[in-house]
Amino acid sequence: MARMAFSGEEEPLGGYGVAKVLDSRKPDFKEGDLVWGVTGWEEFSLITAPQVLFKFQHNDFPLSYYTGILVSSPKKGDRVFISAAAGAVGQLVGQFAKLMGCYVLGGAGSKEKVDLLKNKLGFDEAFNYKEEHNLDAALKRWFPEGIDIYFENVGGKKMLDAVLLNMRVFGRIAACGMISQYNLDQPEGVCTLMSIVYKRFHFEGFSAPHYYHLYHKFLDIVLPYIREGKIAYIEDIVEGLEKGPEAVMGLFKGRNVGKQMVVVAHE
Amino acid sequence: MARMAFSGEEEPLGGYGVAKVLDSRKPDFKEGDLVWGVTGWEEFSLITAPQVLFKFQHNDFPLSYYTGILVSSPKKGDRVFISAAAGAVGQLVGQFAKLMGCYVLGGAGSKEKVDLLKNKLGFDEAFNYKEEHNLDAALKRWFPEGIDIYFENVGGKKMLDAVLLNMRVFGRIAACGMISQYNLDQPEGVCTLMSIVYKRFHFEGFSAPHYYHLYHKFLDIVLPYIREGKIAYIEDIVEGLEKGPEAVMGLFKGRNVGKQMVVVAHE
C-alpha cells in the first residue's frame, strides 16, 4: 500500500493502486481513509485530483480485489472467447460470463495458465495460443457456429485476423486493450476487417473510468459472489517498489499469472 | 428492366434490379406487376424465392430510385465523413446527413465527382483522395475535433489507417462495404485498430436486407423529400445486358459517377 496526502500541487506518475490517506485538505477524505484508484508509483503521494480515487466501503475483502474488476454483460447461451484470459481482467470476465450461463473459452500463453483457467477459474476450455500454428482452424473447432462475444485484450495480426474471421453474424467485440501492440514501433496490420461487413458484428472500445458511475451497482452484484466463493481471483505479487519496472515489463512478456501487484508497503 | 416469371425452379445469378412480371404461380404477384430486389443478370428470369422482391407502390418515381437507398441515422451537429461519396449509396447518405443538420465531408476519386458532391448534392466539403498524399493530415484539417460518424464504403490501409486515427471519442463507424478490398488476393493490413480502445468508438457492419422491415417507414420520410426536390440522385446508365460485365468492373475502378445502372430492356 502507498501512502498519500491531499493538496493542490502536481500529480505523480499514475498507476492503479490502493493507499492510506496520511493528511487531507479535501473534505471527502480524512487521515486514515483507505482509497483505491489512480495513485502514484512512489511511496508517498501528493494527490491533487481526488475524483479518480474511491474510498473503500467493504473492508472485509482483500484490498487488491478492488483494482482489477471491470464490467461485462454477456447473455445466457452466448459463446464467448477471451484472450489474455489469465490476466487481471480476463480471469474475471470469464467467470462473470460463466455465471451468466455462457460457454467460455480462454486463450493464454503457458500450460500453467491454461490449467488455472480450466481447473481453478471454471472456464469451459482453455488453450495455449503459442502452441497453435493456425488460430483460425483452432477457433473453428471451438466455435463451429462462430463467436458471439470476443473480449479483446491482445490485438495484433495473429489474434485478430483469426477472431474476425470467426465472429458470428451480429456478434460483439468488446475491446478492452491490445497488449501485444503497445510497444511496437509500427503496429501490425490486420487483414480481415472486411468480415465486419459480411458478419455485421459490433466492435467497440471501452474504458473503465467511463463506467465508474455504475460501480456501486456492480458491487451489489459481485460482492455476494465473492462472499460465497463463486469468484476466484489470482494475483501475482512482488514485494518492493524497486521491483515495479520489472513487473510492468513482465506484463508485456506475459510473465504475470493473474493480476500483477507491486507491494509498496504493508501498512 | 428485366422480365420475369415465378415458378419453383432454380434461381438465376443474382443482382439488384427492377423487372416486370410476365407470369406467376405465387399469389402475391401477378402478370404486369413491377418489382424490385434481387433479380437476374438476364433478360428473362425464373424466380423461386420472391421474398427478396418488393412490388412498387409509388409509380410516379423513376424505377431506378428504388435500387440504391439505404438507412442512416446521424444526429444534428454530428461531423460526418463519407467515402466513395459519389457512388450509389454515398450520395444519398450524405444528403440524408445534411437534411439532419450534420456537417458532411465526402471523399471521391475525381474532380468531376468532387464538383458534383459540392455543387449538386449539397455536401459541405468534398475532396479527391487521389490528390491527398497524407489522408491523416487532410482529415485533421476537416475534423480538428475528430469524426463523429464515418460511413465506410472503401476499406483498406490508406483510408482506414487515417480514419481510425481521426475518430472522435464515442464516434461511430457504419461499415457498408469495403470496395477497395474485394478483388485483392490478400486484403491490406490495417495498422491503427488500437484507436478503437483509446477512442472507445463503435464500429459496426450492416446489410440492407436486415432492415427491409423498416422500408415502408423509410419511404414515409424520404418520398416527400424526393417530391420536393430536396434529394438528388445521380445515375450512370449503360444500355444493353452485354455492357453488364464492363459496368461491374468499372465499379472497382471508380469509373461510375453515381448509381451504376444497366438497362436490359426499356419495356
| ipTM score of complex | 0.82
| B156 in contact with chain A, both atoms CB, cutoff 8 A | no
Chain A residue with the nearest C-alpha to that of B202:
A204
Pair A219, B219: CB distance under 8 Å:
no
Question: Which one-letter amino acid corresponds to residue A105?
Answer: L
Say whether A200 and B210 touch across the interface (CB within 8 A): yes
Tell me which of A194, A198, A199, A206 to substitute to probe the interface with B (most B C-beta atoms closer than 10 Å): A194
Distances (CA, A) of B113 to A212, B109, B137, B229, B252: 47, 7, 22, 20, 15
Q: Which residues contact B69 (CB under 8 A, 6 or more apart)?
A: B92, B218, B222
CATH number of A70-267: 3.40.50.720
* pLDDT tens digits, one per residue of A127-162: 999 999 999 999 999 999 999 999 999 999 999 999
Kindly report, residue by residue over B89-107, the tens digit of the pLDDT: 999 999 999 998 999 999 9
Provide mean pLDDT across the span B115-122: 97
CA distances from A160 to A153, A176, B206 (A): 10, 13, 20
Please state, rounded to an integer, the average pLDDT across all residues of chain B: 88
Q: If you compute the radius of gyration of chain B from its CA atoms, what whole number of angstroms results?
A: 20
What is the Cα–Cα distance from B149 to B145, expressed in whole angstroms? Answer: 12
**Is B175 in Cβ contact with A197 (below 8 Å)?**
yes
Contact B196 A181 (CB under 8 A): no
CA–CA distance, B259 with B87 (Å, rounded to integer): 6
Strand locations in chain A (E): 2-6, 14-23, 34-40, 44-47, 53-55, 79-82, 103-108, 125-128, 147-152, 167-175, 202-205, 235-239, 259-263
Q: Please, which pLDDT band fits residue B8 given cuts at 50, 70 and 90?
A: very low
**pLDDT digits over A203-255, tens only?**
999 887 788 788 888 888 888 888 898 999 899 999 999 999 999 999 999 99
pLDDT tens for each residue of B135-156: 999 999 999 999 999 999 999 9
Residue A185 C-beta-side C-alpha neighbours within 13 Å: 0
Query: Residues B222-234: what's their mean pLDDT?
Result: 88
What was the pLDDT predicted at B226? 85
B160 contacts in A (CB within 8 Å)?
Answer: 193
Chain B residues with CB-CB distance to A195 below 8 A: 205
Other C-beta atoms lying within 10 Å of the C-beta of residue A249:
11
Structure confidence by residue, pLDDT tens digits, B57-82: 776 666 666 655 545 567 899 999 99
Q: Say yes or no to pLDDT of A70 above 50.
A: no
Residues of chain A with CATH 3.40.50.720: 70-267
Query: A47-65 as b/e, with b when 16 or more CB fall inside 10 Å?
Result: beebebbbeeeeeeeebbb
- B185 CB within 8 Å of a chain A CB: no
Span of B34-38, B208-212, B238-242 with lowest mean pLDDT: B208-212
In the stretch 199-218 of chain B, residues with CB closer than 8 A to chain A read 199-207, 210
Distance (Å) from the alpha carbon of A203 to chain B's nearest alpha carbon: 5
CATH class of B79-209: alpha beta
In this structure, how many other beta carbons lie within 10 angstroms of the beta carbon of residue B147?
24
